[in-house]
């Protein structure tokens, strides 16, 4: 539906579910972490209530698309069963790895961007898409290091993954900003190099500046409002990609629901401006 205005949703965490269902605020869609509903019957029951009122996007953090070893089929089956119940509007995962030798490290760990990694990630994305019977979006990570032998720039790596698998991209604007700062890259040039047509969703979140041995490192902690330079980068992304469904994430020090809704309204104002511009450009 090309003419449908993409709108800003919110990341839904357990503490807001009751209030969301009681108040039914006019938020166009919500996104949840898939893993929180796979082994918790009560959480799943509450999600089933939410999906009757709002479109739900499933955001996975545990598939470990970049693991050198095979995908965890048990986990993938759980994701498929959850998707069968929720009928999500979007399904997304990360360009990262978390599992090695049977240990799950609960972090989106960095990958060297090499031809070997490209083969691994593309095969895993295809396996997931085949199992779920749908296209997934893959999100750019927040990086705190890069590997010396990374031969392919991350944006090019993404372009090749989308070309090989047909998957879409989830462009996390905060991650792009944080990564560029932490490993000395240019965030705007990074966005410019991403395959615009493949962007299916954008994320916005807060970060925190930490001191590491006298150097400032930005930590993607999702624990504060979206920072001013990230809003500016978002505007730049909208110019480049056009309007896309956009999500406000907030996962630590979670504030009142209204604070998230306020952030979503700010994003929506920018999305609407971008959509008007798109319309004018098409009319011209």
Partner 1 sequence: MLALPELQQSFTAGLLGGENTALLDLIEGDGLDARARLGIYRHHVLTTLTAVLDAVYPVACALVDRRFFGYAADAFIRRHPPAGPCLGEYGADFPEFLAEFPPCAHLPYLPDVARLEWAVHLAATTPPAAALDREGLRAVDPGRMADVTFTLEPSLSHLTSPWPVEKIWRAHQAEGKDLDVDMTGGSVWLEVRATGDAVTVRSIESGTYALRDALGRGMSLGEAVEIALGSHPTLDVEAEIRSTLEDNIFSHFTVLAREET
Residue numbers at the binding site for partner 1 (CB under 8 A): 35-36, 38-44, 61-64, 67-69, 72, 74-75, 78, 97-107, 109-112, 114, 116-117, 120, 144-149, 182-184, 212-213, 215, 217, 219
Based on CB atoms, which residue is closest to partner 1, 45 or 197?
45
206 and 174 Cβ atoms separated by less than 8 Å: yes
The contacts of residue 74 (CB under 8 Å, 6+ apart) are none
CB of 284 to partner 1, least distance (A): 43
Closest to partner 1 by CB, 109 or 274: 109
Distances (CA, A) of 205 to 13, 87, 129, 130, 159: 14, 25, 27, 31, 24
Q: Which is nearer to partner 1, 12 or 79 (CB)?
A: 79
How far is residue 220's CA from residue 145's CA, in Å, rounded to a whole number? 13
Q: Which is nearer to partner 1, 144 or 231 (CB)?
A: 144
4/215 with CB nearer partner 1: 215
Shortest CB 114 distance to partner 1, Å: 8
Rounded to a whole number of angstroms, the minimum distance from the CB of residue 234 to partner 1 is 25
CB of 35 to partner 1, least distance (A): 5
Q: What's the closest the beta carbon of residue 207 comes to partner 1, in angstroms?
A: 13
Q: How many residues does the chain have?
A: 284
Cβ within 8 Å of residue 42, ≥6 positions away:
none
CA quadruple 34, 36, 38, 40: dihedral, nearest 10: -160
Distance CA 121, CA 212 (A): 31
Are 33 and 50 spatial neighbours (Cβ–Cβ below 8 Å)? Answer: no
């Amino acid at each position: 539906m090309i003419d449908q205005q993409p709108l800003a949703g919110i990341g839904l965490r357990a503490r807001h579910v009751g209030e969301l269902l009681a108040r039914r605020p006019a938020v166009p869609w919500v996104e949840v972490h898939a893993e929180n509903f796979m082994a918790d019957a009560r959480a799943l029951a509450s999600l089933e209530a939410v999906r009757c009122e709002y479109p739900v996007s499933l955001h996975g953090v545990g598939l470990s698309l970049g693991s050198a070893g095979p995908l965890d089929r048990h986990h993938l089956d759980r994701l498929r069963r959850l998707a069968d119940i929720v009928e999500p509007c979007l399904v997304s995962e990360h360009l990262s790895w978390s599992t090695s030798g049977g240990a799950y490290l609960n972090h989106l760990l960095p990958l060297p961007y090499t031809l070997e990694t490209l083969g691994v990630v593309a095969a895993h994305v295809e396996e997931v898409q085949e199992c779920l019977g749908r296209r997934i979006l893959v999100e750019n990570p927040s990086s705190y290091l890069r590997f010396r032998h990374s031969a392919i720039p991350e944006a090019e790596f993404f372009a090749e993954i989308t070309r090989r698998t047909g998957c879409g991209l989830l462009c996390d604007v905060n991650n792009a900003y944080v990564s560029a700062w932490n490993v000395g890259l240019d965030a705007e040039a990074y966005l410019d190099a991403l395959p615009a047509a493949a962007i299916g969703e954008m994320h916005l979140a807060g970060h925190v500046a930490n001191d590491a041995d006298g150097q400032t490192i930005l930590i993607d902690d999702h624990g504060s409002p979206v920072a001013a330079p990230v809003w500016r980068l978002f505007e730049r992304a909208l110019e480049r990609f056009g309007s896309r469904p956009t999500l406000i994430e907030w996962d630590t020090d979670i504030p009142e629901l209204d604070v998230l809704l306020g952030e979503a309204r700010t994003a929506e104002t920018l999305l609407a401006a971008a959509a008007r511009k798109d319309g004018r450009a098409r009319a011209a």
